[in-house]
Amino acid sequence: MTAITLDGVATATALKSELRDRVVALRAQGVVPGLATLLVGDDPGSRLYVAGKHKDCAEVGIESLRIDLPGSATSADVRAAIKDLNSSREVTGYIIQLPLPVGHNENAMLELIDPAKDADGLHPTNLGRLVLGIEGNLRSPLPCTPAGIVELLRRYSVPIVGQKVVVVGRGLTVGRPLGLLFTRKGLDATVTLTHSRTVDLAGEVRRADIVVAAVGVPHLIEADWVKPGAAVLDVGITRVAGVDGGKSRLLGDVHPDVASVAGYLSPNPRGVGPMTRAMLVSNVVKAAEQSLTA
């Protein structure tokens, strides 16, 4: 048996074409959504991700603005940039590309974002609404990677209600909010949130119907850890330098042999990454739509 590929590129493309139609409708009503990115420093990986986000915006027809600060920027510089983005009329949503260079307090910067412009859903108010919104009646942006994972499973009709989900990793952008999302009313999964101090991680993973690996440990999840037929989502990214100056490669958290055991597998790259980007655009479009009815 070989797993069905959860194709993030194809799914994100379908999502973006739906979003494009909604942007046309917004523009007809005089609303022009605009996404900004704030990048500090020149980490090559971060630059690549930011470039991808601007490409997605162009595809969907939303304006985008790129603010790049040098690695030498102080926390006061970053605060000033955030203040400008909060007051800009063109910028309806924005993100602070993480991680910030060492020396910056990420949580303090995230708190300065206007929650109404928080395209990443990482402001404490929006994370708080994720906790409060168990009835699904509070509309606020969801963190993009968790939202992308759930959307990917939905579009492949992978059952979620009542299923055992094991999330590996408790980080701010993926594991922790994903546990909250999967246990919401409507999704109704049973979640085990595991981390580096979990005893018998393999045993936990073996019981899962859905495994989400988001730790950044290459090939951590081995084939004999996976229940036959389970859905496995590979989120972690480790960039390894190419041999002899060749192209760098990406390694996921899931061993390639898992494909022969799992029922569904999201590849990495081309799985959750493109979905994360599509959900970012979706958050900006949704916020613009809500500005019409607010």
Ligand X SMILES: Nc1nc(=O)c2c([nH]1)NC[C@@H]1CN(c3ccc(C(=O)N[C@@H](CCC(=O)O)C(=O)O)cc3)C=[N+]21
Annotated binding site for NADP(+): 169-171, 237
Q: Which residues of 142-162 are buried (b: 16+ CB within 10 A; e: fewer)?
A: bbbbbbbbbbbbeeeebebee
User: Contact letters (x/-) for ligand X, 37-56, by CB under 6 A?
Assistant: -----------xx--x----
Shortest distance (Å) from residue 76 CB to ligand X: 20
Structure tokens given for 172: 């701010």
Known catalytic residue at 120: yes
On the CB side of 58, CA atoms within 13 Å amount to 8
d(CA 105, CA 77): 13
Give the binding-site size for ligand X (rule: CB under 6 A): 17
- Separation in Å, CA 209 to CA 2, 41, 270: 16, 40, 22
117 noted as active-site residue: no
Cα–Cα distance measured from residue 18 to residue 272, given in angstroms and rounded to the nearest whole number: 18
Instruction: Out of 7, 16, 56, 97, pick the active-site residue.
Output: 97
Instruction: DSSP for 50-98, please give it.
Output: HHHHHHHHHHHT-EEEEEEE-TT--HHHHHHHHHHHHH-SS-SEEEE-S
Restricting to residues 123-162, name those near ligand X by CB under 6 A: 144
Which stretch, 23-31, 193-201, 204-212, 268-276, contacts ligand X (CB under 6 A)?
268-276
Q: Does 225 help bind ligand X (rule: CB under 6 A)?
A: no
Cα–Cα distance for residue pair 10/22, rounded to 1 Å:
19
CB of 125 to ligand X, least distance (A): 16
Q: Does 273 bind ligand X (CB under 6 A)?
A: yes
Structure tokens of 13? Answer: 């493309």
> Does 278 sit near ligand X (CB under 6 A)?
no
Binding mask 108-127 for ligand X (x = CB under 6 A): ------------x-------
Active-site entry in 7, 56, 118, 120: 120
Residue 79 interacting with ligand X (CB under 6 A): no
Binding of residue 94 to ligand X (CB under 6 A) = no
Q: How far is the CB of 200 from ligand X (least distance, A)?
A: 29
Show which residues are catalytic. Answer: 53, 97, 120
Site residues (vs ligand X, CB under 6 A) = 48-49, 52, 95-98, 120, 144, 173, 250, 269-270, 273-274, 276-277
